[in-house]
Each structure stands twice: as C-alpha cells, then as structure tokens.
Amino acid sequence: MNERREGFGEEYPRGDLMQGLMLVIFLAIWGLDSFVFKVTLYGGVIRPPVRLVIATLLFLGAVPLGLDSHRLVFDAPPEEPKVIDEGVFGVVRHPMYLSIMLIYLGLVTATGSLASLILLVGVFIIYDRLADYEEEVLISIFKDEYEVYRERVPNWVPFLKN
C-alpha cells in the first residue's frame, strides 16, 4: 500500500507500521477495559442501546469517508501529480485518517471505555503528526496550490474554518 509514484509525495516513514501498532494496542486496551475491567465513562447513565446507535452512526460516517478517499487516491489516481480537492478531500484534508479516528471513537462510544478514550487522545496526536508530515511534503511539491487548499479546506473537522 505504501507504493510511491514519482511526484505524488510520500507517507511518514514507517507510518503503516505505526498505524498497525496503534491499532493493536488500542484494541487490546479497549478489549481489556470494555470486557474485563469495565471502567466506563458512563457509569450506567447512558443506556447501551443509545451508545450502540451513536457508535453505529460513527461507523456509518467513517466507512464511506474512508472508502471514497481511498478510491480517489489509490484506485484512480491522476496521471500527473495534482492536489486532490474533490469529493471528501473538498470537505477535510485527511479523510482517511478521520475515518480511522471515527471508528476508534465508535468503539469507545459503544462500550464507554475510559482507558480507550485516554489512549484515543494519544492516537489522535500521532495521526495529527502523520498528517503534518505529509502536508509538509505536499507543500514542497505543490507550493501555493496546496497552501490555497489548506486555507479553504479544514484539517479534521468538516465545515470548521481554519
């Protein structure tokens, strides 16, 4: 997946490995806290059906976001390097990473795992650094065109002005 095409930029070195490790650590902590230790955020206040509905909505938002961004970048990349600002990339600059964060948040919401929420903050910081690195690479390639895109499209939260 870390295939590099000349002129299209690059991902953070060993970024795939970091993401895989974060996933394994997150799922281990989430599973232990959710099903063994059961330290929850809700303390029985928010009923499981409500939590599951919210988690399902997060998953339903994450899946098309991730699939559309993957399609635009990997399935049908442009012949010549260009700033992709259509589809989900016209709404947020890092839709793949955002979709992953929404899935993590959905898991936290479903079970109310306090340890997972704390870990999720750290995971977000790492993803933000990955995104910053990739943006610096894109700025070095596309210069003003990418700067204009950054001014127009928010980093993480759709419709939130920079």
pLDDT tens sequence across 36-55: 998 888 877 889 999 999 99
The β-bridge partners of 40 are 113
Nearest by Cα to 135 from 10, 6, 1, 7: 10
pLDDT band at 8 (very low <50, low <70, confident <90, very high): low
Distance in Å from the first CA to the final CA of the chain: 30
Asked whether residue 162 is domain-assigned, the answer is: no
Query: How far apart, in whole angstroms, are the C-alpha atoms of residue 34 and residue 120?
Result: 14
Asked whether residue 96 is domain-assigned, the answer is: yes
Query: How far apart, in whole angstroms, are the C-alpha atoms of residue 46 and residue 44?
Result: 6
In the chain, the percentage of residues whose pLDDT exceeds 70 is: 94
Q: Tell me: pLDDT of 144 over 70.
A: yes
Q: What is the pLDDT of residue 1?
A: 41
Asked whether residue 45 is domain-assigned, the answer is: yes
Query: How far apart, in whole angstroms, are the C-alpha atoms of residue 162 and residue 155?
Result: 8
Domain that holds residue 93: 15-152
Q: What is the pLDDT of residue 124?
A: 97
Whole-model pTM? 0.91
Asked whether residue 158 is domain-assigned, the answer is: no
Count of domains in the chain?
1
Asked whether residue 7 is domain-assigned, the answer is: no
Token duo for residue 26? 């997150």
How confident is the model over 140-155, as a mean pLDDT?
95
How confident is the model over 10-30, as a mean pLDDT?
95
Asked whether residue 146 is domain-assigned, the answer is: yes
Q: Are 127 and 100 in contact (CB under 8 A)?
A: yes
Asked whether residue 36 is domain-assigned, the answer is: yes
Look up residue 8 and give its DSSP letter.
S
Asked whether residue 9 is domain-assigned, the answer is: no
